[in-house]
C-alpha cells in the first residue's frame, strides 16, 4: 500500500467504523460488564483494544492507536492530552532517580524545561549533547545512562541527527531511545526502522492540522510497549474521545496537506536564500543544512516548517519585521493550514552543549496552504520594514 492509500485505510476497519466511514466518538468514563467473565477478560487486556475503563480508551481511541501503529510501525501507541505530556510520559516511564539522561541540545525548549524543573530535582541528571554528534555519543555514555532523547530535525534550528547511528550505540548499551518525531509526522520517516524504541508525535501539529486541538502520542516497539503503556496509564495520562476523533480525521488529509506545505515552503525558502539580508536558511532539504545527508537518507520529504537567520538586527528591527504581517500570524505551534512566524533574538541562550554559528536573529516560519505568491509579497514588505528600522 502506498502512503496516501495507507492514510485513508489506517484504523478504519469494519470493527471500528461499522457501516459508517469514520469511527464514532465514544465518550466514556465507566465501561460496564454483564458477567464476571467479561470483567476478567477486560481486566486482563487492560484497555489494549478492549474497553476496560475510560482512561484506557474507547473504540475511538483504539481505532486511532491502530492507525498510528500502522503508519509509524510501532507495536502500540499511548495517547496524551498534548505533545508535552507525551514527552514527559515517555521520559517518566523509563527514568528513575539516579539515572543519567542524554538530551539533544537543539531540543524543543519546553522539553529542556521539563529536564531542569522536574527531572533534575527528582535526581535524574540530564546531560545535553551536540545534535551533530552521531556514533560519537558513545563517549558520553555512563553506567547510569538509561535514556537517549532525540529530536530530528530540531524544531527551531533544523539540525538533522544521525538517528540510526545513535540508536545503534544505544542498543549495544541497553539504553532506551526516545525520538520526538513531530517534524516528520507519521509519514516522512520510519522511526522504528531507524532503530528508535519510542516515537513521539505532538499530534497537535500536522496530524490534527487545523490548530484547534491539543493531543500527543508515543508509539513503542514490541519490547518497550508494555512498560510505556502501563507507566503512562498509572501516571494518569489520557485523551478525550472528541480530540482523538479530530486527530483521526486529520490523518485522512495529512498526505496531501504535507505535499502542499512542502511545495510552498521550498518555494519560499529558495526565495529567502537569494536575499542579501539573509545569512542562512535552515531547511533540512537544503544541502547547507546541518545533517542534510541524514535527511536525504532517512526522510521521504519535508514539510512547511523551517527557519532563517538574518545577517543583523536587534529587537527593534525584528519587531519591524514581524509586526504588521498580512498573512503570517505571530504565535507558537505549527502544522495547521495557516502560516505562522516566530522570532528568536538569541538562539545561543537556548543551548548549552553546542555553538550556534550565527550572530543575527532567527526567524522561524510555518508555511501554510495559502498561495506562496501572497506569502512572498507579505515577506517582501516585512523586509522593507526591517531594512528601514536597522
Ligand X SMILES: *Cc1c(COP(=O)(O)O)cnc(C)c1O
Decide: is 82 part of the binding site for ligand X (CB under 6 A): yes
Q: Which residues pair with 362 in a beta bridge?
A: 309, 344
Cell representation of residue 381? 514588505
List active site positions: 55, 108, 180, 205
Tell me the window of 43-51, 61-69, 79-87, 159-167 that interacts with ligand X (CB under 6 A).
79-87
Cell representation of residue 37? 467473565
Decide: is 199 part of the binding site for ligand X (CB under 6 A): no
CB of 158 to ligand X, least distance (A): 11
CB of 357 to ligand X, least distance (A): 22
Cell representation of residue 110? 519546553
Q: Which is nearer to ligand X, 218 or 268 (CB)?
A: 218
Contacts of 162 (CB under 8 A, 6+ apart): 134, 135, 291, 294
Decide: is 84 part of the binding site for ligand X (CB under 6 A): yes
First CA to last CA across the chain, in angstroms? 53
Q: Which is nearer to ligand X, 10 or 82 (CB)?
A: 82
Q: Which is nearer to ligand X, 156 or 382 (CB)?
A: 156
Q: Using CB positions, name the residue nearest to ligand X.
A: 83
Q: Which residues pair with 149 in a beta bridge?
A: 103, 178
Q: Among 152, 185, 204, 248, which residue interacts with ligand X (rule: CB under 6 A)?
A: 204
CB of 94 to ligand X, least distance (A): 17
Tell me the window of 34-42, 70-78, 82-90, 187-195 that interacts with ligand X (CB under 6 A).
82-90
- Residue numbers 94-123 binding ligand X by CB under 6 A: 108
Q: Which own/partner contact pairs does 60-63 have at CB distance under 8 Å and 24+ positions apart?
A: 60/23, 60/24, 60/25, 60/26, 60/241, 60/244, 60/245, 60/248, 61/239, 61/241, 61/244, 62/16, 63/11, 63/12, 63/13, 63/16, 63/17, 63/23, 63/248
CB of 43 to ligand X, least distance (A): 31
Q: In whole angstroms, what separates CA 365 from the centre of its chain?
A: 16
Q: Which is nearer to ligand X, 66 or 151 (CB)?
A: 151
Decide: is 333 part of the binding site for ligand X (CB under 6 A): yes
Q: Among 83, 301, 313, 368, which residue interacts with ligand X (rule: CB under 6 A)?
A: 83
> Which residues form the interface with ligand X (CB under 6 A)?
82-84, 87, 108, 151, 155, 180, 182, 202, 204-205, 214, 216, 333
Amino acid at each position: 500500500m502506498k502512503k496516501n492509500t495507507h492514510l485513508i485505510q489506517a484504523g478504519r476497519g469494519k470493527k471500528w467504523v461499522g457501516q459508517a466511514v469514520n469511527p464514532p466518538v465514544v465518550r466514556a468514563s465507566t465501561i460496564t460488564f454483564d458477567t464476571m467473565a467479561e470483567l476478567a477478560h477486560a481486566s486482563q487486556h487492560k484497555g489494549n483494544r478492549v474497553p476496560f475503563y475510560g482512561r484506557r480508551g474507547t473504540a475511538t481511541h483504539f481505532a486511532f492507536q491502530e492507525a498510528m501503529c500502522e503508519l509509524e510501525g510501532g507495536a502500540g501507541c499511548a495517547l496524551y492530552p498534548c505533545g508535552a505530556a507525551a514527552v514527559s510520559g515517555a521520559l517518566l516511564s523509563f527514568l528513575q532517580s539516579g539515572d543519567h539522561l542524554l538530551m539533544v541540545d537543539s531540543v524543543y525548549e519546553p522539553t529542556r524545561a521539563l529536564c531542569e524543573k522536574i527531572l533534575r530535582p527528582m535526581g535524574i541528571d540530564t546531560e545535553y549533547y551536540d545534535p551533530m554528534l552521531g556514533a560519537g555519543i558513545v563517549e558520553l555514555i555512563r553506567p547510569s545512562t538509561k535514556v537517549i532523547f532525540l529530536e530530528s530535525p530540531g524544531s527551531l534550528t533544523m539540525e538533522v541527527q544521525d538517528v540510526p547511528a545513535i540508536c545503534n550505540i544505544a542498543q549495544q548499551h541497553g539504553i532506551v531511545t526516545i525520538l520526538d518525531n513531530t517534524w516528520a509526522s507519521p509519514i516522512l520517516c520510519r522511526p522504528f526502522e531507524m532503530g528508535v524504541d519510542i516515537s513521539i508525535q505532538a499530534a497537535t501539529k500536522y496530524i490534527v492540522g487545523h490548530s484547534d486541538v491539543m493531543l500527543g502520542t508515543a508509539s513503542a516497539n514490541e519490547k518497550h510497549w508494555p512498560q510505556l503503556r502501563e507507566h503512562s496509564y498509572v501516571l494518569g495520562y489520557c485523551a478525550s474521545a472528541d480530540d482523538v476523533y479530530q486527530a483521526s480525521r486529520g490523518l485522512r488529509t495529512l498526505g496531501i496537506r504535507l505535499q502542499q506545505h512542502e511545495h510552498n515552503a521550498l518555494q519560499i525558502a529558495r526565495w529567502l536564500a537569494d536575499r542579501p539580508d539573509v545569512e542562512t536558511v535552515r531547511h533540512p532539504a537544503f544541502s547547507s543544512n546541518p545533517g542534510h545527508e541524514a535527511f536525504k537518507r532517512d526522510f521521504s520529504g519535508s514539510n512547511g516548517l523551517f527557519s532563517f537567520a538574518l545577517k543583523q538586527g536587534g529587537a527593534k528591527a525584528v519587531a519591524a519585521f514581524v509586526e504588521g504581517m498580512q498573512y503570517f500570524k505571530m504565535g507558537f505551534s505549527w502544522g495547521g493550514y495557516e502560516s505562522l512566524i516566530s522570532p528568536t533574538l538569541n538562539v545561543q541562550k537556548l543551548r548549552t552543549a553546542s555553538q550556534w554559528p550565527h550572530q543575527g536573529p532567527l526567524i522561524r516560519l510555518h508555511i501554510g496552504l495559502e498561495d506562496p505568491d501572497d506569502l512572498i509579497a507579505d515577506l517582501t514588505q516585512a523586509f522593507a520594514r526591517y531594512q528601514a528600522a536597522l
